[in-house]
Amino acid sequence: MIRSIILVVGFVFLSICYGCSPAGVIASGGATTMVIAEGDKSLGTVVDDATIKLNISRKLLISDNNLFVNIDTSVVAGMVLLTGIVANQESRIEAIKVAWEVNGVKEVINEIEVGDKASIKEYANDVWITTQIKALAAKDIGLRSISYNVETIKGKVFLAGITSRPEQLESLVIISKSVKGVKEVVNYVVIKE
């Protein structure tokens, strides 16, 4: 019963956040529309990535190992970045298997760590780092900064996205390294020619 409620709430949340149709993406607000119109991803790619993310999230939600709660996913042009912390290697392998089972996945990058969960202080620090990077990127790059995904796990920052502007990516990496508490920046941004 609880699992069913969580599943319904998860689908509603993901539908609101990402939309599953072109109309949902276009109607979701000026910022998203602007990124599609001006960004390096086509409308079809945005919809495909949202569908892949939704399907992976659904599969993680129904798994037995609380994978939905412990793992974050970012999807860019069919490339899936998995981050988070799980209790054992079996959970890590299951998450990778789940990602590959979804249609449209072209690559899975596994940055899931096995170990103890972060303390509340460490988690809050990771959220603060991500927030600072996003705010500084918005100030420096502008609206296009929302086309990059930023995840932080134990002070390690993961960047994902697609860009045709290497100078913007370089600026984002410099910004990320300048934020207090960042231990390492891992760049998975694809430069499109």
Tell me the three state secondary structure of residue 63.
coil
* Assessment of whether the complete model's pTM goes beyond 0.85: no
For 164, other C-beta atoms within 10 Å of its C-beta total: 12
pLDDT for position 19: 41
pLDDT in tens, 102-157: 999 999 999 888 887 767 788 889 999 999 999 999 999 887 777 788 999 999 99
> The tokens of 87 are what?
């209790």
Of 144, 150, 151, nearest to 165 by C-alpha is: 144
Contact 82, 110 (CB under 8 A): yes
* Cα 87 off chain centre by: 21
Sketch the domain layout of the chain as residue ranges. 2-114, 120-191
Instruction: Domain 120-191: state its class.
Output: alpha beta
pLDDT in tens, 39-98: 555 666 677 888 999 999 999 999 877 788 889 998 988 899 999 888 888 898 999 999
